[in-house]
Structures are given as C-alpha cells and as structure tokens.
Amino acid sequence: MRSGALVNVAPEGTTWCGLASGRFRPAMFQAAIDAGVPVLPLALRYRLADGRDTAAAAFIGDETIIDSVRRTVRTRGLVLEAHLLEPIESAGKTRRELATLTETVIATTFGHQPQAPHPVTLGTSASTTEPR
C-alpha cells in the first residue's frame, strides 16, 4: 500500500442483500492507518433500469455462486452504479473514526441515514466493543 498498490476490503466483513447494509468493522481500516495512506471509498449499488433498488445480484445464504451468477445474468435491465468517492485521510484518525466516516459518506451518497457512530470503549480492560 505504501508503494501505491490498491487493496480492496469489504469493510462489513460479510455480504448483504443490497437493500440494507451492516456496520463497517473498524479493524478493516488498520492497514490504511499503518501504511499512512488514505481510504478510497467505493460505493456500489445495483438498480433496475427503472431506477428501483434490487437485491437480484445478492449472494447470500445457502445459494451457490453458480445460482447467484445465473440469476444475475438473467435479470433484465440490471444496472451497477459505482461511485468512487473522495479520499479520506487516515493520518491522525483511529480505525473506529475511519469506519464511521466511510459509512457516513457511503450512506450519504445513496441518500440513506448514516448509522450512529461506533461505540467508544473507555478504560484499559481486556473487553472491547470494537469488532476485530
């Protein structure tokens, strides 16, 4: 990453149906902090030609990848929106702050309400509310 290579991560740590999303896992942002590079948010959304959101391209549950690809290919008028958003500098930020900022810019891009900030853990106990 320090030499300019791009690394793609799925900060939710799982797949979603495309009509909802989960919290971004702060640990996914540690590499950007360690390398001192910005986060480049890429927001993806599938829609139908008439503008309606769709879960037609979702790959979740017990479905096989082949079944998912077949359904996706058969979906008429499927449009993938890709939005490369402004970089978010990692310098001076915690991974929790980067996760929250990235969630917010992606939610705002699609007109959704941003989620509440990640909870902050106080003290130095071994337990934490931050996903790893």
| DSSP-assigned letters across all residues of 41-109 | -EEEEEEETTS-B--TT---TT--HHHHHHHHHH-TTEEEEEEEPPPB--TT--HHHHHHHHHHHHHHH
CA distance 71 to 6: 30
Query: Which is more confidently placed, 17 or 106?
Result: 106
| Least trusted range by pLDDT, from 1-5, 65-69, 80-84, 104-108 | 1-5
Per-residue confidence (pLDDT) for residue 16, from 0 to 100: 59
Per-residue confidence (pLDDT) for residue 129, from 0 to 100: 43
Hey, where are the domains in the chain?
Answer: 26-109
Does residue 131 surpass a pLDDT of 50? no
Per-residue confidence (pLDDT) for residue 124, from 0 to 100: 42
Does residue 130 surpass a pLDDT of 50? no
pLDDT tens digits along 14-70 = 555 556 666 788 998 999 999 999 999 988 888 999 999 888 888 777 888 899 899
Q: pLDDT-derived band of residue 122, with 50, 70 and 90 as boundaries?
A: very low
Q: pLDDT-derived band of residue 125, with 50, 70 and 90 as boundaries?
A: very low
Does residue 132 surpass a pLDDT of 50? no
* Averaged confidence pLDDT in the chain: 80
Which residues 6+ apart lie within 8 Å of 16 measured at CB?
22, 58, 60
